[in-house]
Amino acid sequence: MAMDYSEKVMEHFAHPHNVGVIEDADGVGEVGNAKCGDIMKMYLKIKDGIIEDVKFQTFGCASAIATSSMATDLIKGKPVEDALKLTNQAVVEALDGLPAVKVHCSVLAEQAIKAALADYYKRQGIENDISKCADCENGCCGHDHGAEEA
């Protein structure tokens, strides 16, 4: 089945921005699971509350790579508070849309950033309530949602 991808999705897939590893990252977050095939890892370098650098490694489909790339573009150079407010919908809109069956990739991108920020706060000794898992309806984030409700 062919997917209708926007030009922006195809551009970010073919030429992703901010790919790589930050060896001395201030925060690292990883989400996804091998069962659904998409795994995202985000690295943040933060100075004075500003995200100076962000890199990602993503194993997954074109949408997973494109959403990772766009999400990093949307938070680079921004205050941590702005990154915390980034939603998967903002990522989808910045890419001019995604096929409905691929929207979960944007959820993973949001969650990877929040996981990296949660790690940053933990390393700083700052308590936080950043949810690594917003509301992944299909379980692709790798968390056992049933266990969280119990």
Active site residue 136: no
Q: What is the predicted pLDDT for the residue at 146?
A: 42
CATH class of 7-136: alpha beta
Which single residue is written with the structure tokens 């573009």? Answer: 73
Maximum distance among all Cα pairs of the chain, rounded to whole angstroms: 48
Q: What is the predicted pLDDT for the residue at 149?
A: 35
Catalytic residue among 105, 136, 140, 141: 105
- Of 69, 57, 43, 68, give the one whose Cα is nearest residue 123: 43
What does the pLDDT look like over 95-116, one tens digit per residue? 999 999 999 899 999 999 999 9
* Residue ranges covered by each domain of the chain: 7-136
Catalytic residue among 36, 136, 140, 141: 36
Q: What is the predicted pLDDT for the residue at 131?
A: 54
- Contact of 24 with 76, CB cutoff 8 Å: no
Residues in the chain predicted with pLDDT less than 70, given as ranges, are 1-2, 36, 131-150
